[in-house]
Amino acid sequence: MTGGGTPDGNEALKRLLLTVADKMPAAPGMPAVFNFFPTANRVPSSERFSAESAFGQRFLGNSFMASFGTPNNMRIDGLIIPAANKDAAAKILEAYRTLYVRNGKLLDPVPNLGEDNFTAEDRYMGRAVAFRIDRFVIAFSGFDDRQPIVDIAAATEQRILGSIRKQLVSADERADNSDQPTQAGTPAWAQQRR
């Protein structure tokens, strides 16, 4: 709320905003993108959306984030950015990689993690594992050993790939049933299988 009206006018506006907020329905749940993060070791209620920036970098904005605990009692922060397309995702990943090239050092990439990935470390930013799957950029950062960060990244990749597989199977099933005559007007639960 912005403005510079009178104190009485500001109070009236505040009451109006509170009335509208009270009548708004609650959100039905968290965005589905949070389901891509593994549930194991996820810090309860750590899920958040960052429009401006993430990991202190503006190019990582518009990201869905969650935090994880490690066996060493350290915290790892993760993010998922659903970019507009593959090219935009590749540019975001490259900008993040360049940040570590200039300020830290790149480590060996993780075999078979995403379509493109890197691992890196910097004494101020910590260790990072970042990868891309199609239009999604996924990154994890923390000050723990590299392996716990890689483990969470790999678990996230498996959840994303599992979700994609489910969508493909559903699409195949719909395609297989497309040649069957429809029973117009009959609810799906009441239709007879042929």
**d(C-alpha 150, C-alpha 161), whole Å:** 16
Query: Residue 41 carries which DSSP code?
Result: T
pLDDT tens for residues 129-145? 999 999 999 999 999 89
Q: What is the pLDDT of residue 161?
A: 92
Alpha-helix residue ranges (DSSP H) falling in 24-105? 86-103
Order of all β-strands in the sheet with 75-82 = 48-50, 63-69, 75-82, 136-142, 126-133, 116-122, 105-107
Distance CA 136, CA 35 (A): 14
Residue position matching structure tokens 């920036």:
53
Evaluate if residue 191 carries a pLDDT over 90.
no
Domains for the chain: give ranges and CATH numbers. Answer: 42-169 (3.40.1000)
67 neighbors 42 (Cβ within 8 angstroms): yes
Residue range 6-46, pLDDT digits in tens:
766 678 888 888 888 888 877 778 899 999 999 999 999 99
